[in-house]
A and B are shown apart, each in its own frame.
Chain A
């Protein structure tokens, strides 16, 4: 499945580093999401964009900064992260923000913060 791609697939960073995660969707969707997946916990929705406009920020710390330059691309800028931020970061897209839309996920970026 190549509808939603994410780079890099793995990332190790120190707490003082700045890095960015990239997501691209090739499905013609209008909505894009960032999720955090930690072991033994439900997926946590971080940010939602619809037509490039942010519609949701679920109380995410400011060390995570999203950017959506167009409906096909989504970035997550990371700076001064903490070890507890280590997780799988998943990007997803859906056609719109309707209550019946299906979400399509990218392969994720496995982030380790040292």
Chain B
């Protein structure tokens, strides 16, 4: 079946450093969504990317969708303690409503 591979599984950063997580699909996605789950919380929608090569920004967060619509990334500039949590990508194919989720990248801020 279709899968979304997300790496890395964990990323430890010092506060103020940057963070990036990547998602890849072997086949072309119709769109991809990003969610954030705080520790002890539930996934919360961040953004949806639909167009080839699309780049969207939310303050310190930059989301990219690859030209071939097979990969996506989330980059956080100058991490803060409020960024702690697990970031998930979730993709769709062929205009299907079902989201296929990546395993998530856990952002950990080193004390």
Contact = CB atoms under 8 A, between A and B. Distances in A.
B98 A103 contact: no
Contacts of B45: 102-104
Interface string B80-99: 00000000101010011111
Nearest to A31: B97
Interface residues of A, number: 23
Contacts of B101: 42-43
A81 B95 CA distance: 35
A93 B48 CA distance: 16
A108 B48 CA distance: 23
Contact of B48 (A1, A45, A56, A100): A100
A99 B96 contact: yes
Contacts of A99: 30-31, 92, 95-97
- Classify chain B's interface size: 20 to 34
A45 B43 contact: no
A108 B44 CA distance: 12
| Most chain A CB atoms below 10 A, which of B92, B96, B101 | B101
A97 interface: yes
B53 to A, nearest CB: 18
A90 B50 CA distance: 26
Given A1-B44, A48-B98, A103-B45, 18 more contacts: A40-B103, A41-B103, A42-B4, A42-B88, A42-B103, A43-B90, A94-B97, A98-B97, A99-B30, A99-B92, A99-B95, A99-B97, A100-B31, A101-B97, A102-B48, A103-B99, A105-B44, A107-B42
